[in-house]
Amino acid sequence: MPDTALNLDNLASASFATQVSTLRQLFGFNKTEFAEALGVNEKTIRRWENEAEMVNPQDNHKQLIAALRTIAESLDDLFDPDMIKVWAERENPALQGERPKDFAKKPGGVLIMAHLLGNLGR
């Protein structure tokens, strides 16, 4: 299980399995919730997190993981990594009062948040 205190600056160079597992835990998703946010089933998340399996995710799923990395990196500039989970659980006025965890499950939600947060000066 990855340490959420991981230096998020190095996350992009980590294995896909490490990225998926770290981002899921960082935002406080269980595997079912994360699967819903990414438009896959829970079995796919388990396969992606298994370092021993050679996975080749579709481009749109790679894009969503990259978008979640953007969100994590932007939030890491503002908060300690342990506080990112708290941010994901709280209602956010910029997201029409929804919690980021819930907004991520909407079509395009992850990409919208990445766009909003990616414009914070990166």
pLDDT of residue 120: 58
pLDDT in tens, 49-69: 998 777 888 899 999 999 999
pLDDT confidence of residue 118: 75
Q: Is residue 5 part of a domain?
A: no
* HSE-up (13 A, CA, CB side) for residue 59: 0
Domain assignment of residue 94, given as a range:
11-118
Answer whether residue 4 shows pLDDT above 50: no
Number of domains within the chain: 1
Residue 54 near residue 30 (C-beta atoms within 8 A): no
Residue 91 vs residue 14, higher pLDDT: 91
Residue 94 belongs to some domain of the structure: yes
pTM, 2 dp = 0.86
Among 117, 119, 116, 100, CA closest to 37: 100
The answer to whether residue 6 scores a pLDDT higher than 90 is no
Does residue 38 fall inside a structural domain? yes
Asked, for residue 4, whether it belongs to a domain, the answer is: no
Could you tell me if residue 53 is inside a domain?
Answer: yes
